[in-house]
Structure formats: structure tokens, C-alpha cells
């Protein structure tokens, strides 16, 4: 037995060429007849061209014969084959690197150019990380110019190593994202990343393309005044609570029937229908945590089957008019983060399994509290403080950060 082990050697077999069914089976058939062990195997298939690698260990007395048979089979199949010996030391070195940190870099945009991919992968390389594998998450895109529906591109890189400075890495990725019109996400690759369970959304300017308070103000004839305060609040220039009280007071006297009309005409953000459909289908718990108003949150809740809604309640008098006051505590930035933690507890999910998506300064606490915080078409201050953002495509881009491939889903998300 001892003697036999000493005479074994490792050989890396590399096969490239046109993919065809049964190729792996016929290679394995030869290896099997000579009792080879498979230590590693991997394949990439790019544009119907395959690159297959198999690391085998076998009796060195048989290896000459095996290579001869493999060469013969490869020429019969019309593929290229190559062999490299791998020493015991090289193999053990590879084994010892197994425990290293793993990360996922996701890069997406309407289109992806070499310049964009260079920028992202340069940052990764400068941080001492190595790319293990690369896959395309977006579907195949036609070249036909008239078929421009759902144009987007997404690539996922699996990385290995320990970044020299993770904060710098993350902010550099956000910088190139801004400069080159793409979006990046950098996440630790753990089981939690594959098993996110709870997703919390901001509502105004995230799920809907408006700030409802501004629309209400418009109808109340105080549009300009309120809009100016909202903008400053969302940029984080003034305290949210204070500005909220101020704005609600200006709505005094507005008839509640206006709320229903606004709700029925809410401009839904691109990708919300698809995103909600997929999240529900795959069992995610969904929450709206909004500094806006419960009435509209509940409207979206009914429409999409959302599990939790926390927002602010406007007080209405006996004549059906807004009193200019609100009921209960304000849902501000701090409260959003608390609610995220609370719902995670109720749903018995680890905080690492949570996702938060928002655009405003009052979303920053929940973005940083969550396992995956995504700034969506966000204000500059929010993007600057977020770890990942989506600015170039619709909100269903979140699915890419969760690792969903377009080929798993159709247009509707089935
Ligand atoms: Mg918002």
C-alpha cells in the first residue's frame, strides 16, 4: 500500500474547444479504466466554447498510457487537450489556501464595456484579491437595435483573499461606479449571502418615483414651500423629525379623498413589479419602512402582498380633513433601523440575512444595519456612505446582488 502511494502523481488535464454533449463522460471513461482519482474539476462555457480542467491523481506507471488515450479521444472529438504535472508541494499549497476569505463582486449596468470592467477588476487586484471564477448573470442580449427591451448587463466575480483595506476598496468601487455609469456590489461570500430572507424598502423615491408629501402639498396649494423642505431633509441637511412636523402642519385642511386619488396614480419605479413577484415567489419577507405615510404604504402592501408596513399616520378630523398633525411616533432614520432589527427578530432571521434598499439620508441607518444595504438612485450623500448602490438600472437590479440569474427567470420573473 505504502509503496503504491509513492508512485502516484498529479496531472492537470486541460481541454478546450467546441462544446459537445458526452465529452466529460468519454474523458471520465478513460480515466476510470485506469483508476484515476479526481482531485478537482471545473468548467467554463463561453459562447459555446468550453474550457474544462481536471486535476487527477494516478499511478505513474499508467499515466503515459492514459495521456495517449486521452490525446486520441480529443482528436476524435475535435477538441484541444494539454497536460501539466502538478507536484505534491504545489498541490498542498493549493489545499492550504482553501480557508481564505471569499467575496463576491457584482458589476452591472445598461451595457458593460472593457473600460468599466478594467476599473472594477483593477481595484480588486490592487487590494490583493484573486478572481476565482466569472459568470454572467444577465440574459443573452441580441444585437438587433430595435429590440432594446430590458437592456442590461451583469457579471459576477468570485474572489479569494483578504482585502488590504475593505473600506477603501468599497469607496473606490463606488467612485468608479459614479464615474463610469455602472453599479457594483462587494459582499462576503458566506451561506448568509445565499440565504437572505428579509428585505426592507424605503417607499418614496424608492418603490415610487415621487415624494407623496410633495404631491399632497401640491394639492393643498403649498407645493413650493414643502418641496424645498423635503429636498433639504432628504439630502440630510435638516433634522427629519423637525422638517416632517413642519411639512405636515402645512397640509392642514386638505380633504382625505385626495389621498386615494394620489394612491391610485402612484408612479411605480421601474422593475418593482418583477422584483416583488420574484421575492414573493422565493419566500422573502418584505417590509416597507417609510418616513412617508401609512395610507400609501398600505396601498402598495395590498398590491404586492407586502408583509410589513411601518410609516406615519396623518390625523384626520371628523369632517375628513387633515388636521396638520400626525398620530404616534415618527418613523425616522433611527426608527427604520430599529424596525429592521425587530422584524428580523420576529422572523427569526440573522441580521446578516437582511437587505435594505433606500434613497434618502434617513435610510442610511437601516442600510448600514442590514446585511446588504443598497442605495437606490440615491442622493449623493447617501451613495457616498453606502456600500453598494444601483443607479443605472431599475430596482429589480437588486436580484443580481442576491445572485439571481436572468436565465433562472423569465420576463415576469417566473
Ligand atoms: Mg425615499
Separation of CA 393 and ligand 1 centre (Å) = 17
In this structure, the answer to whether residues 13 and 75 fall within a common structural domain is: yes
Query: Residue 19: which pLDDT band, with cuts at 50, 70 and 90?
Result: confident
Query: First-to-last CA distance in the chain?
Result: 54
> Is the pLDDT score of 275 beyond 90?
yes
- How far is Cα 291 from Cα 343, in angstroms, rounded to an integer? 17
Which pLDDT belongs to residue 413?
60
Residue 217 contacts residue 144 (beta carbons within 8 Å): no
Q: Among the three residues 96, 128, 144, which one is the final residue of a domain in this structure?
A: 96
Same domain for 390 and 249, yes or no, is: yes
**pLDDT at residue number 193:** 86
249 and 205 co-located in one domain: yes
Q: What is the pLDDT of residue 411?
A: 60
Same domain (yes/no): 232, 368: yes
For the chain, give percent helix, strand, coil, nearest 5.
Answer: 45, 30, 30
Domain coverage including residue 81: 2-96
- Check residue 140 and report its DSSP letter: P
Identify the CATH number of the domain in which residue 110 sits. Answer: 3.30.70.260
Q: Are residues 305 and 224 in the same domain?
A: yes
How many domains is the chain partitioned into structurally? 3
The verdict on residue 413 lying in a domain is no
204 is catalytic: yes
State the Cα angle at 257 between 251 and 258, rounded to 5°.
Answer: 50
Same domain? 286 vs 367: yes
Instruction: Answer whether residue 134 shows pLDDT above 80.
Output: yes
Q: Give me the phi and psi of 259, to 5 degrees please.
A: -65, -45
Write down which residue in 96, 115, 141 finishes a domain. 96
Cα of 202 vs centre of ligand 1, distance in Å, is 5
Q: Are residues 394 and 266 in the same domain?
A: yes
Confidence band (pLDDT; 50, 70, 90) for 101?
confident
Q: Could you tell me if 281 and 394 lie in one domain?
A: yes
Residue 414 lies in a domain: no
Q: Is 78 left (phi over 0), alpha (psi -120 to 50) or beta?
A: left
Question: Which position among 40, 126, 165, 202 bears the catalytic label?
Answer: 202
Give me the chain's average pLDDT, please.
Answer: 92
Same domain flag for 80 and 150? no
- Set of cell numbers at residue 10: 498529479
Say which residue the cell 433639504 belongs to: 232
Catalytic residue of the set 88, 93, 165, 204: 204
CA of 122 from ligand 1 middle (Å) equals 33
Over range 195-213, report the average pLDDT.
96
Alpha helices in 145-222 (DSSP H): 166-180, 191-194, 212-220
Give per-residue pLDDT as tens, 397-409. 999 999 999 888 7
C-alpha cell at 77: 472529438
- The residue with greater pLDDT, 340 or 242, is 340
- Indicate whether 333 and 243 sit together in one domain: yes
State pLDDT tens for residues 335-356. Answer: 999 999 999 999 999 999 999 9
Question: Does residue 257 belong to any structural domain of this protein?
Answer: yes
Please count the other Cβ atoms lying within 10 Å of the Cβ belonging to residue 170.
Answer: 18
Alpha carbon dihedral 201, 206, 212, 215, in 10-degree steps, equals -170
Q: Residue 5's pLDDT is what?
A: 53
What tens digit of pLDDT does each residue of 150-188 get? 788 999 999 999 999 999 999 999 999 999 999 999 999
pLDDT value at position 412?
A: 62
Residues linked to residue 198 through DSSP beta bridges, in sequence order = 285, 354
The pLDDT value given to residue 1 = 47
Amino acid at each position: 500500500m505504502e509503496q503504491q502511494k509513492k508512485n502516484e502523481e498529479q496531472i492537470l488535464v486541460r481541454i478546450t474547444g467546441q462544446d459537445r454533449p458526452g465529452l466529460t463522460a468519454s474523458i471520465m471513461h478513460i480515466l476510470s479504466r485506469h483508476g484515476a482519482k479526481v482531485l478537482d474539476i471545473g468548467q467554463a462555457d463561453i459562447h459555446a466554447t468550453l474550457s474544462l480542467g481536471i486535476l487527477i491523481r494516478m499511478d505513474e506507471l499508467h499515466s503515459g498510457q492514459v495521456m495517449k488515450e486521452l490525446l486520441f479521444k480529443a482528436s476524435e472529438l475535435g477538441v484541444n487537450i494539454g497536460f501539466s504535472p502538478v507536484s505534491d508541494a504545489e498541490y498542498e499549497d493549493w489545499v492550504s489556501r482553501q480557508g481564505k476569505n471569499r467575496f463576491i463582486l457584482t458589476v452591472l449596468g445598461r451595457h458593460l464595456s472593457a473600460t468599466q470592467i478594467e476599473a472594477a477588476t483593477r481595484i480588486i487586484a490592487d487590494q490583493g484579491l484573486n478572481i476565482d471564477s466569472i459568470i454572467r448573470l444577465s440574459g443573452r442580449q441580441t444585437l438587433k437595435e430595435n429590440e432594446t427591451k430590458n437592456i442590461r448587463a451583469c457579471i459576477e466575480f468570485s474572489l479569494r483573499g483578504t482585502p488590504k483595506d475593505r473600506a477603501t476598496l468599497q469607496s473606490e468601487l463606488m467612485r468608479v461606479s459614479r464615474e463610469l455609469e455602472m453599479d457594483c456590489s462587494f459582499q462576503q461570500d458566506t451561506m448568509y449571502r445565499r440565504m437572505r430572507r428579509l428585505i426592507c424598502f424605503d417607499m418614496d423615491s424608492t418603490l415610487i418615483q415621487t415624494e407623496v408629501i410633495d404631491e399632497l402639498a401640491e394639492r393643498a396649494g403649498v407645493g413650493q414651500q414643502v418641496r424645498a423642505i423635503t429636498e433639504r431633509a432628504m439630502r440630510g441637511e435638516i433634522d427629519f423629525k423637525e422638517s416632517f412636523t413642519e411639512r405636515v402642519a402645512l397640509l392642514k385642511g386638505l380633504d382625505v379623498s385626495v389621498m386615494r386619488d394620489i394612491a391610485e396614480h402612484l408612479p411605480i419605479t421601474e422593475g418593482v413589479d418583477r422584483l416583488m413577484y420574484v421575492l414573493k415567489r422565493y419566500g422573502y419577507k418584505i417590509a416597507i419602512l417609510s418616513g412617508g405615510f401609512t395610507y400609501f404604504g398600505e396601498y402598495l402592501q395590498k398590491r404586492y402582498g407586502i408583509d410589513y408596513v411601518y410609516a406615519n399616520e396623518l390625523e384626520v378630523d371628523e369632517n375628513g380633513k387633515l388636521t396638520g398633525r400626525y398620530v404616534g411616533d415618527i418613523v425616522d432614520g433611527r426608527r427604520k433601523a430599529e424596525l429592521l432589527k425587530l422584524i428580523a427578530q420576529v422572523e427569526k432571521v440573522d441580521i446578516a440575512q437582511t437587505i435594505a434598499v433606500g434613497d434618502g439620508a434617513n435610510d442610511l441607518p437601516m442600510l448600514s444595519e442590514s446585511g446588504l444595504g443598497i442605495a437606490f438612485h440615491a442622493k449623493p450623500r447617501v451613495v457616498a456612505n453606502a456600500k453598494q448602490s444601483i443607479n443605472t438600472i431599475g430596482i429589480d437590479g437588486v436580484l443580481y446582488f442576491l445572485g439571481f440569474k436572468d436565465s433562472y427567470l423569465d420576463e415576469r420573473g417566473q
